[in-house]
Amino acid sequence: MSLGLKERVLKVLSETEILHARDLLRKLDISVTVLKPLMEELVRENLVERFSHGGYTFYRITEEGKGLLMQLDKQKEIEGLEERAPPETEETSEEGS
């Protein structure tokens, strides 16, 4: 599964304590056939917890899932800083020598 979609699911779950599967479908605008295997994968990876109540399936993000989101955010921040840094030229690299 794409990391982008996993990240979207984790972000949505991090914004709420618990979400019903139907609410995830609406918020992510994806089909059940996409959501079901994705959620199974996230549960296997211990990034999301699945539980049932009253015959309904609910999901919540785990501490591991929150940690992964933090790592991804930091990585994006670092990549953003690298993109904004001026390219090193031969002149500037020689000055530092």
Q: Phi and psi of 59, rounded to 5°?
A: -135, 150
Domain range summary for the chain, segments of one domain joined by +: 3-78
Is the pTM of the predicted complex or chain greater than 0.85? no
Q: 4-8, 19-23, 74-78, 86-90: which has the minimum mean pLDDT? A: 86-90
State pLDDT tens for residues 37-65.
999 999 999 999 999 999 999 999 999 99
- Domain range 3-78, its CATH number among 1.10.10.10, 1.10.760.10, 1.10.150.20, 3.90.1150.10: 1.10.10.10
Average pLDDT score over the chain: 86
